[in-house]
Amino acid sequence: MRQKVVIGISPGKPTFFCSAPCFLQLKFLLLPVIKNPYDSPMCGIVAYIGKRPAVPLLVEGLRRLEYRGYDSAGLSTLGNGRLHTRKRVGRVDALATLIREQPIDGSIGISHTRWATHGAPSDANSHPHADASGKITVVHNGVIENYQALKDALVKEGHSFASDTDTEVLAHLIGKHYAEGKLKDERGLLDAARAALRQVVGTYGIAALSSDCPGVIVGARRGSPLVVGIGQGEHFLSSDVNAIVAHTRDVVYLNDYDLVAVRADDFRVERLDEGEARVEISKVAHDAGAAEKGDFPHYMLKEIFEQPQTIQNAMRGRFNRNESSAALGGLNLTSTELRNVDRIIMTACGTSWHAALVGEYLIEEIARVPCEVEYASEFRYRNPPIDKNTLLFAITQSGETADTLAALREAKRKGHKALGICNVVGSTIARESDGGVYLHAGPEVGVASTKAFTAQVTVLALIALLLGRLRHLSAMQGSRFIQELESIPDKITRILKQHDAIREIAAKYKDARDFLFLGRQCNYPVALEGALKLKEISYIHAEGYPAAEMKHGPIALVDEKTPSVFICPQDAIYEKTMSNLEEVRARKGRVIAIATEGDTAISRKADDVIHVPKTIDALYPLLTNIPLQLLAYHIAVQLGRDVDKPRNLAKSVTVE
């Protein structure tokens, strides 16, 4: 096996992502475009084989992945020649309690934390699932699209099922092929998995364990992340490096259609269509401490307070001061190619879509390039006219968002240049895009995205600067933009010092059933994002609008019980926004204002004011968003919500 160690990347064919410092070009494997992309839920898989007791390592790993799925959890270990399975509906703590009551041992095991798709959360639907013989157990992230047809065929053959899941069908299918095969060893288990997966339509990341093969874990991936962790006399298999980074930082990111046989002392990767796969070892850039809460009560609050550093990391090494521009070599486009771009399409979902909207304002204002933002879930099924000089950006924190990935693949399929903006090294979008920019935000564990949003806006500001300097933006204007952007981290630090004051404001409004968030120009997307944050973690209905659109319908909602949050810094349209604020006051609506420091006039008009430092108009979203994150956080905490794991949500949505 040829080994290549590269810090923080998944290397392969020459596709580049921009890193910091700027002279480090990160290379990614450009995978073949999958013609029929399917979707998979963002659950969590952790598997271990070695000499240590498996259960503590598996439970620890599941706790680190609980943000990926928390409807139920379970594990299987192999000890004394027998499989031992424990699973329980609810959080990982419920599984840990069950294991204390019913201990199991073994130095090889697989485990799973679930975000339900097929079948409601229950003990029976929890993973792992066994085959008909009870000698094979399987954990699975993904959606088996044709599971019902496969299940019907298996039932006719005499199989019975204990759950409503598609995963149990896959376990039975693997078991069927294993029973029919001649080999009852590692080779036989691997071939059985290959035969079963060839019948599957859909996505999967799996780990399988057999009592007949006590020295191996079999894994496979298509459309759902899976990574091998390499240790000394032990190996791991996981859907996320965060689960295993405390034990090893040497990993192999599996590609779609890879199968892997993992043993304590080595591993082998094959292709689904047979033949050994080429693998390269990467080094995880962050350590386990980066994904810990530290002294903060919640990951979300920790990540809010990390934003000054996050923005610095997103900018580091990415300024070309001699040219008063940005240095983004990872875009893989020459200056001439960038000048020839006539139109930009940005596609994203959720918070990333809001960041893209800010980017639209930035790019059109600073670079004068026509730009539009598409919901990835709509773009993937549309057939919009796109000319040859259009550049697409797929924006995602995880790099695994199903709709965004499908949109990127659709653009590439039609021959368009498709770039990525993402946070997770080794993610599918990072590897399949033609180039792009990393956020360098570090692990984001809280389900409600915060620091990824500000990092995305920062990167989009750099792209706007680069494109602007290649067109009409003067060197003096570029230098001023850099100066203002570099001042943003310190200004966010000043906003964060209002933490206690914002908590008090939250206490005044926590019992409201509805909120309006209103902003204009580049602060309109901030209003959308503020409303989304409040909805996500407090379960209070909230809507974001352009402030001037209020009188075209939403003003009917204004009353004494419905607070309106106005984002009204002293920018070019300050007076216009203030007029909209007056319209709410005239109808006895309560107003929370996000205003510029030194603005005394607004204090006489709003019920509560949160101040942000002054900056140039284009960069206000990086500041005005921070108070809205804190406001949503404190309202949710005071309502007793589970801030880091809001109901019905998963960190990365990889199911359609």
Q: Which of 321, 310, 313, 309 is nearest to 481 (CA)?
A: 321
Q: Which residues pair with 93 in a beta bridge?
A: none
Provide the phi-psi class of 636: left if phi over 0, else alpha when psi is between -120 and 50, else beta.
Answer: alpha
Q: Is 43 a catalytic residue?
A: yes
Instruction: Find all residues with CB under 8 Å of 321, minimum gap 6, and list them.
Output: 479, 482
Residue 304 corresponds to which tokens in the numbers above? 């809010």
Which residue among 13, 22, 43, 522 is the active-site one?
43
Q: Which of 320, 315, 361 is nearest to 521 (CA)?
A: 361
Cα–Cα distance measured from residue 7 to residue 426, given in angstroms and rounded to the nearest whole number: 11
Instruction: Find all residues with CB under 8 Å of 382, minimum gap 6, and list them.
Output: 374
Which residue among 176, 412, 645, 651 is the active-site one?
651
Q: Which of 212, 69, 79 is nearest to 136 (CA)?
A: 212
| 8 A C-beta contact, residue 350 and residue 359 | no
User: Three-state SS for 392?
Assistant: strand
| 8 A C-beta contact, residue 124 and residue 134 | no
From residue 374, alpha-carbon distances to 78, 344, 354, 382 in Å are: 48, 11, 11, 10
From residue 647, alpha-carbon distances to 87, 141, 193, 535, 608 in Å are: 21, 19, 34, 11, 30
Task: Write the single-letter amino acid at 205.
Answer: G
Instruction: Find all residues with CB under 8 Å of 426, minimum gap 6, and list them.
Output: 9, 10, 227, 241, 251, 253, 282
How many alpha carbons lie under 13 Å from residue 15 in its C-beta half-sphere?
23
Cα–Cα distance measured from residue 162 to residue 151, given in angstroms and rounded to the nearest whole number: 12
Q: Which of 212, 113, 124 is nearest to 161 (CA)?
A: 124
User: Which residue blocks in 147-291 are alpha helix, DSSP H?
Assistant: 147-156, 166-180, 186-198
Cβ of 481: how many Cβ atoms within 10 Å? 24
Cα–Cα distance measured from residue 415 to residue 33, given in angstroms and rounded to the nearest whole number: 11
| 8 A C-beta contact, residue 48 and residue 66 | no
Cα–Cα distance measured from residue 567 to residue 524, given in angstroms and rounded to the nearest whole number: 8
Q: Mind giving me the DSSP string for 424-470?
A: -TT-HHHHHSSEEEE-------SSS--HHHHHHHHHHHHHHHHHHHT
Q: Is 561 a catalytic residue?
A: no
Residues tagged active-site: 43, 651
